[in-house]
């Protein structure tokens, strides 16, 4: 058997593009992927579990990890830290399991810097018109906020060049199929498997 390391897949894209929807639909179909568990300084809520929902750490511990470059990315939100612990990702990959991370564009760029061997997938809206409709239809945003979100989306689309793949989210099912194809094909990349196949073919001779 080929003993292959897992691959870190990062799904990102502008706010409102449907990252969460695509990720959920993907995980309903693909049970081999391991969703990346984040670390946070926020308090554990009822029903949550350490190492399942989040890894819970004190602010001091979290800041120490930032210093030690133990996080692939991190951000602050409503006074709490959130981040992706490097060790958890690397241990999961070493076991041969793929890790899947769904994250905002700025976070994805941090991951890319800290873990360039990941596979970066940009989820793109079919058009800015469509993205605007999706943001407006949530009904939670003022006109000014919608405009700010669109401006941010345009800036983020400019960052597409940092990614390996672009998947347009015109239909969730089609987007999921494309992400699944990317996962499968990345495992066939020559760089990942050639040396192992060569070994296998020698041994079996």
> If binding is defined by CB under 8 A, does position 204 make contact with a copy of itself?
yes
Q: Which of 50, 91, 129, 173 touches a copy of itself (CB under 8 A)? A: 129
59 vs 101: CA distance, rounded Å: 23
Q: Which residues are annotated as part of the binding site?
A: 13-20
* Residues 94-123, interacting with a copy of itself (CB under 8 A): 121-122
Subset of residues 19 to 48 that bind a copy of itself, contact rule: CB under 8 A: none
User: Given candidates 125, 135, 149, 176, which one binds a copy of itself under the rule CB under 8 A?
Assistant: 125
DSSP string covering 23-90: HHHHHHH--SSEEPPPEE-SPPPTT--BTTTBEE--HHHHHHHHHTT-EEEEEEETTEEEEEEHHHHH
Q: Which residue ranges are tagged as binding site for ATP?
A: 13-20
Of 11, 17, 18, whose CA–CA distance to 128 is shortest? 17
The reply to whether 143 sits near a copy of itself by the rule CB under 8 A is no
Q: What distance in Å separates the CA atoms of residue 101 and residue 119, rounded to the nearest whole number? A: 10
Residues in contact with a copy of itself by the rule CB under 8 A: 2, 121-122, 124-130, 154, 157-158, 160-161, 163-168, 177-178, 180-182, 184-186, 188-190, 193-194, 197-198, 200-201, 204-205
């Amino acid at each position: 058997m080929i003993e292959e390391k897992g691959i870190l897949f990062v799904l990102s894209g502008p706010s409102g593009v449907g990252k969460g929807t695509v990720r959920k639909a993907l995980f309903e179909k693909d049970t081999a992927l391991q969703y990346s568990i984040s670390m946070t300084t926020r308090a554990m809520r009822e029903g949550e579990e350490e190492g399942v929902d989040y890894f819970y750490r004190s602010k001091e511990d979290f800041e120490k990890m930032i210093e030690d470059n133990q996080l692939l990315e991190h951000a602050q939100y409503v006074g709490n830290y959130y981040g992706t612990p490097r060790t958890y990702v690397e241990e999961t990959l070493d076991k041969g399991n793929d890790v899947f991370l769904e994250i905002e564009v700025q976070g994805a760029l941090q991951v890319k810097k800290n873990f360039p061997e990941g596979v970066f997938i940009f989820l793109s809206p079919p058009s800015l018109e469509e993205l605007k409709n999706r943001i407006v239809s949530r009904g939670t945003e003022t006109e000014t906020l919608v405009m700010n979100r669109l401006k941010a989306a345009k800036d983020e689309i400019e960052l597409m060049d940092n990614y390996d793949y672009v998947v347009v989210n015109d239909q969730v099912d089609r987007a999921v199929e494309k992400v699944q194809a990317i996962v499968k094909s990345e495992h066939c990349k020559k760089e990942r498997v050639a040396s192992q196949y060569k070994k296998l073919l020698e041994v079996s001779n």
